[in-house]
């Protein structure tokens, strides 16, 4: 380990590593310091249940990574360093209490036919959305893929007005500001179609009635239909391993098991870091902290020197938590709604917009939801290499749960300590899957349950198990992520930058914040 680098990066998440790849490629000497023993942050693959069963600890879907500006620039290189994706053409589906299901896949006509079985009018709407998607996506992807700076986003707005006209641009802005429910109910008439698409808002903290969430059901359904989904071959950590290898090949270093205790400053400028064991390491050009705003304040011993900034960082708000259930199975679930569901990457158990709204509200109120939203990921349906022959893993995301339990909306769980509650609550979630896939429980050969507090203990950025590193509601998104004036990662301390999912463009494996910052610092 050197005692001086050009740039020190705190944390080895996907944003840090994308940043390190670019800076190292530009000739910077980069040192990454990660507190956990395994790099990757929310992107890790571990044998959690039994040998030979590879579970994605947190993120499973790498579509944002594969579609990112970072991947466009470095994808070829990363492939040379071992990165492999596995495509999924059957992307996501929902099952309903009446035994029906709906799902979005890439096959021309397949999704349309499924929609038509619910509503012919909705099938025509789908055709229209698909036809308009390339023209709309160009602007939405440009918005999301660029720094949140007035001169850049202003140019994009001017381009949209010039090429598409006022009514089209205003219409897009209206969609971006709409709640999932507002957009879904004015666009589709089938409750099943609305619920299936609306479940994507719950991957973030966009319950159906939250303004600013419509873009997620829209983008995820259109992108899945047009491009499919991808997961990592052998596990999501294929992306992390390839980035590590590329960084090391460019002379960069990654040090795990090294918690950064503080940022060192001299004359209002960041000069390096101090590790928990007291070791001090210098950074001649930049200290880049991939931490949540609260974590940044800890690194600054509570004071940046700018009280207004400190207040904004301290008030940064987090979304409700997530619980993960990892199962090792003898076979995939036998979904009663349809055999075809076995082939989908995600099966949502989120039967209506009202159920999702209720779940979110319960979690916000500190209650264990009576019926949480479940994202049942079936990675081995797409990539059998993650489990021994004929065996499977199931990745179940339980959305959403409170970090601090004040009660149980179903009135049956009386304990409030997650260490105790997690297994009991996992039983509730597994019962919900069992109702749609009888026989699942008998197929379980191993199980690991990760509470929201376990997620935070592994990675302090996931405060209270908040998987999106901070609410994405409008008051904390776009120009306001993490706070007005800091959406490009700038802090009041010269040479200190904040990056990661708490910074624009927010959560996901797309590495947007890290890559944009690297381009700002190291040049394009
Ligand atoms: C359960 C779950 C499921 C998800 N599923 C998906 C999905 O399927 N697809 C998708 O696109 N996104 C998903 N996400 C979101 C996505 O994974 C994250 O938004 C993204 O990986 C965040 O990356 P990051 O680089 O911002 O930071 P993180 O992954 O948070 O990494 C930050 C790193 O910094 C380290 N660190 C923090 N403080 C210190 C310190 N003081 N010293 C040293 N190290 C420190 C942490 O230990 C951590 O390793 C999921 C997230 C979770 C939690």
CB of 35 within 6 A of ligand 1: the answer is yes
**Token duo for residue 503:** 């910074």
Residue to substitute in 9, 20, 42 for testing ligand 1 pocket (most ligand atoms within 8 angstroms of CB): 42
C-alpha distances in angstroms, 233 versus 56, 82, 246, 462?
11, 10, 18, 25
d(C-alpha 389, C-alpha 211), whole Å: 46
42 CA distance to ligand 1 middle (Å): 3
Above 90 in pLDDT, residue 289?
A: yes
Residues 152 and 262 in one domain: no
Q: Is the Cα dihedral 295, 300, 301, 303 positive or negative?
A: negative
- 132-188 pLDDT tens trace: 999 999 999 999 999 999 999 999 999 999 999 999 999 999 999 999 999 999 999
Whether residues 240 and 350 share a domain: the answer is: no
CB atoms within 10 A of CB 414: 9
Answer whether residue 167 is part of any domain. Answer: yes
Q: Ligand 1: which of 56, 58, 274 to mutate, most ligand atoms within 8 Å of CB?
A: 58
Averaged pLDDT of the chain: 98
The total domain count for the chain is 3
Q: Is the peptide bond before 321 cis (omega within 30 degrees of 0)?
A: no
Q: Tell me, yes or no, whether 465 lies in a domain.
A: no
Ligand 1 lined by 260 (C-beta under 6 Å): yes
Question: Which DSSP state fits 350?
Answer: -
Cβ of 45 closer than 6 Å to ligand 1, yes or no, is: no
Query: Does 207 lie in the same domain as 94?
Result: yes
**Cross-strand partners of 229:** 88
Q: Is 43 in the pocket of ligand 1 (CB under 6 A)?
A: yes
* Residue 58 tokens, joined: 């947190």
CATH number for the domain harbouring residue 382: 3.90.660
Note the pLDDT tens digit of each residue in 88-142: 999 999 999 999 999 999 987 999 999 999 999 999 999 999 999 999 999 999 9
Asked whether 502 lines ligand 1 (CB < 6 A), one says: no
Tell which atom from ligand 1 comes closest to the C-alpha of 39: 49
- Does a structural domain hold residue 54? no
Residues 121 and 198 in one domain: yes
Ligand 1 atom with the shortest distance to the CA of 15: 25
Query: Tell me, what DSSP letter sits at residue 494?
Result: B
What is the percent of the chain where pLDDT is above 70?
A: 100
Is residue 351 helix, strand or coil?
coil
Ligand 1 neighbourhood includes 42 CB (under 6 angstroms): yes
If asked whether residues 421 and 390 sit together in one domain, one would say yes
Domain boundary among 431, 458, 485: 458
Domain, as residue range, for 335: 320-458
For residue 40, the ligand 1 atom closest to its alpha carbon is 49
Tell me how far apart the alpha carbons of residues 193 and 185 are, in angstroms, rounded to a whole number: 10
Residue 303 belongs to some domain of the structure: yes
Return d(Cα 40, Cα 47) in angstroms, integer: 15
Evaluated on CA atoms 71, 76, 77, 81, the torsion sign reads positive
pLDDT tens digit sequence for 353-389? 999 999 999 999 999 999 999 999 999 999 999 999 9
């Amino acid at each position: 380990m050197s005692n001086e680098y050009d740039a020190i990066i705190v944390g080895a998440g996907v944003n840090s590593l994308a940043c390190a790849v670019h800076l190292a490629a530009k000739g910077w000497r980069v040192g990454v310091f990660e507190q956990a023993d395994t790099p990757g942050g929310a992107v890790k693959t571990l044998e959690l249940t039994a040998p030979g069963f590879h579970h994605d600890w947190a993120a499973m879907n790498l579509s944002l990574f594969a579609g990112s500006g970072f991947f466009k620039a470095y994808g070829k290189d990363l492939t040379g360093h071992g990165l492999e994706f596995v495509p999924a053409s059957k992307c996501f589906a929902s099952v309903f209490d009446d035994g029906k299901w709906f799902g979005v896949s890439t096959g021309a006509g397949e999704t349309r036919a499924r929609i038509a079985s619910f509503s012919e009018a909705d099938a025509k709407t789908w055709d229209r959305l698909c036809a308009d998607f390339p023209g709309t996506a160009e602007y939405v992807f440009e918005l999301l893929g660029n720094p949140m700076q007035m001169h850049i986003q202003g140019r994009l707005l001017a381009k949209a007005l010039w090429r598409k006209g006022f009514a089209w641009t205003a219409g897009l802005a209206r969609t971006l500001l709409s709640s999932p429910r507002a957009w879904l109910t004015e666009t589709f008439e089938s409750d099943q179609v609305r619920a299936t698409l609306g479940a994507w808002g719950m991957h973030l903290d966009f319950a159906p009635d939250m303004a600013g969430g419509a873009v997620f059901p829209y983008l995820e359904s259109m992108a899945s239909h047009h491009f499919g989904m991808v997961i990592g071959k052998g596990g999501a950590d294929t992306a992390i391993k390839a980035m590590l290898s590329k960084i090391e090949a460019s002379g960069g270093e990654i040090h795990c098991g090294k918690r950064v205790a503080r940022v060192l400053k001299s004359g209002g400028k960041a000069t390096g870091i101090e590790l928990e064991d007291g070791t001090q390491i210098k950074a001649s050009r930049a200290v880049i902290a991939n931490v949540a705003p609260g974590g940044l304040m800890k690194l600054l011993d509570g004071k940046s020197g700018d009280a207004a900034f400190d207040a904004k960082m301290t008030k940064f708000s987090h979304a409700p938590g997530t619980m993960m259930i990892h199962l090792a199975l003898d076979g995939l679930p036998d979904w009663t709604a349809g055999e075809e569901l076995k082939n989908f990457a995600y099966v949502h158990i989120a039967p209506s917009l009202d159920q999702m709204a209720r779940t979110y509200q319960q979690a916000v109120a500190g209650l264990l939801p009576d019926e949480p939203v479940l994202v049942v990921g079936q990675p081995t349906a797409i990539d059998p290499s993650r489990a021994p022959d004929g065996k499977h893993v199931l990745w179940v995301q339980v959305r959403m749960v409170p970090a601090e339990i004040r009660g149980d909306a179903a009135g049956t769980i009386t304990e409030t300590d997650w260490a105790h509650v997690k297994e009991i609550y996992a039983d509730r979630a597994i019962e919900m899957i069992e109702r749609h896939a009888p026989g699942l429980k008998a197929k379980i050969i191993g199980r690991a349950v990760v509470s929201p507090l376990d997620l935070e203990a592994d990675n302090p950025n996931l405060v209270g198990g908040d998987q999106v590193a901070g609410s994405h509601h409008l008051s904390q998104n776009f120009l306001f992520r993490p706070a007005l004036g800091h959406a490009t990662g700038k802090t009041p301390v010269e040479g200190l930058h904040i990056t990661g999912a708490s910074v624009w463009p927010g959560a996901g494996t797309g590495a947007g914040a890290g890559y944009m910052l690297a381009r700002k610092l190291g040049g394009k």
